[in-house]
Amino acid sequence: MKKLIFIILSLFGLHQALAQEHPEKKINSQIKDVTVFLDNAQIHRVKNVAVPKGESSFRFSGLSPFINPKSIRVKVSDNLHLQSVQLDPNPENKSDNSLSEIVIKVLSDKTITSTFELFYEVSHAGWFPTYDVRFDNINQPLQLTYKANVWQATQNDWHNVKLQFSTKSALTSNNFSKQLLALKHIKKVHGLVTELGTKEPLPAVNIKVKGTSISATTDFNGKYELNLPDENHNLLEIDYAGYKRLMMPIRDSIVDIALPMDENQVNLVVIMSALSGSNLKKKHNLPTDKKTFFHTIPLQKVQTNSVLSQYEYKINQTYSLTSGSQTKVIPITNFIVSANYKYIAVPSSNYHVFLYANIKGWKKYHLISGMAEIINKNASAGKTYLDINPNKDILQIPLGIDKDIQMNHKLIRASGLINFFRSKHARYNFQYTFKNNKSQAINIEIRVKKPQTNKDKKHLQKLTGGHYKIVNDMALWQLHLDAGQSKSLIIQ
């Protein structure tokens, strides 16, 4: 009986020792590494803590106020028993009202030193991709530099942390519109819309706030202004005939846009253009208040289907980012990419020759859609948008206008009369002259509207020698130019 009582008392004493509570201890920890998603970030903190025997409570202080409570995970040594983890968003007697704390309770059967690891997600942080596309000439591969633009306003500075960039967050939340959230609510946005390559302002461009009926049209100088309803609407949709339809994130009150030409789309068929001289206009009873007359034929737009893929990019170097500071550009990697260069001209829509780079096997580079700076021979050639669509085998990058290839046009009178505004006028065609100022021969893919009449078909047959094909209601053929050579085409 005495032996049984002794055992019971011994077990009770052991239980009391294990259950001994110690005063709560405040812990200041360091951020070791950060995984930055497109619209938030996962913080990893590490701290070695002296844990006494019994039950202990540790308060990790000075944490971001933007912690997602459901994301908190704690890892301790195997010989510790984790009792509870609790987020305290409003700790008492704190000096900074904006910070929160995490309270961790553990039970230990002896005094040890344990490594505590905290993982949690915070909002008010994210990244977006941009690119540098460098090339010297069409005989060499291009260099693609992949960059992460990272920002954070978590109210915790990141000092010498290892970074990893991931696209997983956008997939799990399935909400692309929350990417690249502004650090504060922007109530008004304005900017300038220009043509890629020429950098000339584009008037009458339609700009809409995605998910709303709010829209604006650029003025004659290419400028626009929009009021935003709230912070949840942070994407602009840009639509303009003959150019690629873009979606731009709102990260600042100024959003300038450079539109690349859409080679798969012709929205304008020019009937008459650049009629020089008032006498010519008066002779044929043409209005004198306009320089150009257009007959618009809306065609079905090519819809982009950019699906965000799931990638992660680890950065070997450590970086520091102060909360609320400007966006920091961090290089991810560089690629030397073989490209098939292609010249394209659509005379009825634009009086320039555009250069494109077609890249096969691009999926191995793990790219996602983003803006790109085009750099030719160490000089900026404008900006473009990489529309990454995993459903396509070829990635096409618009490289802008090649200034070594000239394209001039003039109006020439043809036989016969046409009815225009219910009165008879002389029929006019356009003569386009292409000149190759390069030191090598090139091919230009000419694109015009598919001929509708037998007369138009015969003309195109004669113009191309029968070597043309029809693709998406357009007629395409190759124009060969030797170095220094010029050729003229008459297009009805």
19 or 113, higher pLDDT: 113
> Domain ends where: 75, 101, 122?
122
pLDDT digit string (tens) for 191-242? 899 887 677 888 878 898 888 888 888 877 788 988 887 766 778 888 887 7
**H runs (alpha helix) in 80-155:** none
Question: Is the residue at 53 inside a domain?
Answer: yes
Domain that holds residue 106: 2-122
Average pLDDT score over residue span 470-478: 85
Question: Is the residue at 107 inside a domain?
Answer: yes
309 or 362, higher pLDDT: 362
Interatomic CA distance for residues 17 and 290, integer angstroms: 95
Is residue 94's pLDDT more than 60? no
Compute CA distances 95 → 28, 99, 103, whole Å: 14, 9, 17
Is residue 416's pLDDT more than 80? no
Helix (H, G, I), strand (E, B) or coil at 454: helix
Q: What is the pLDDT of residue 36?
A: 95
Question: Is the residue at 410 inside a domain?
Answer: yes
Instruction: Give the E-state strand segments of 123-274 in sequence order.
Output: 125-135, 142-152, 158-166, 188-195, 206-209, 215-217, 223-227, 235-239, 246-249, 257-259, 268-273
Q: What is the pLDDT of residue 329?
A: 94
* Selection from 69-83, 217-231, 244-258, 408-422 with the highest mean pLDDT: 69-83
Band (pLDDT 50/70/90 cuts) for residue 415 is low
Is residue 176's pLDDT more than 80? no
Q: What is the pLDDT of residue 201?
A: 84
Average pLDDT score over residue span 411-422: 56
> Tokens 């490594």, residue?
115
Question: Is the residue at 74 inside a domain?
Answer: yes
Give the contacts of 239 (CB within 8 A, at least 6 positions apart): 205, 206, 207, 208, 245, 301
Interatomic CA distance for residues 260 and 238, integer angstroms: 11
Is residue 417's pLDDT more than 70? no
Question: Is the residue at 414 inside a domain?
Answer: yes
**H runs (alpha helix) in 244-367:** 278-283
- What strands, in cross-sheet order, belong to the sheet with 235-239? 215-217, 206-209, 235-239, 246-249
Q: What is the pLDDT of residue 197?
A: 66
Q: What is the pLDDT of residue 173?
A: 39
**Number of domains observed in the structure of the chain:** 2
Residue 364, phi then psi, degrees to nearest 5: -70, -15
Band (pLDDT 50/70/90 cuts) for residue 245 is confident
> Domain ends where: 61, 93, 122?
122
273 or 96, higher pLDDT: 96
Is residue 474's pLDDT more than 50? yes
Is residue 468's pLDDT more than 50? yes
pLDDT digit string (tens) for 22-36? 789 999 999 999 999
Average pLDDT score over residue span 457-486: 85
Interatomic CA distance for residues 40 and 124, integer angstroms: 6
Residue 139, phi then psi, degrees to nearest 5: -100, -5
Q: Give the mean pLDDT of the chain.
A: 78
* Selection from 34-43, 306-315, 363-372 with the highest mean pLDDT: 34-43
Average pLDDT score over residue span 63-80: 91
Band (pLDDT 50/70/90 cuts) for residue 122 is very high
Give percent helix, percent strand, percent coil of the chain, each to the nearest 5. 10, 50, 40
Q: What angle do CA 171, 328, 131 make, to 5 degrees?
A: 65
Question: Is the residue at 275 inside a domain?
Answer: no
Interatomic CA distance for residues 431 and 411, integer angstroms: 6
Least confident of 72-81, 91-100, 199-208, 279-288: 279-288
Average pLDDT score over residue span 260-265: 62
> Domain ends where: 94, 122, 150?
122
pLDDT digit string (tens) for 377-407? 888 888 888 888 888 899 989 888 888 898 8
Question: Is the residue at 97 inside a domain?
Answer: yes
Is residue 12's pLDDT more than 60? no
197 or 366, higher pLDDT: 366
Residues in the chain: 492
Q: What is the pLDDT of residue 263?
A: 54
Question: Is the residue at 302 inside a domain?
Answer: no
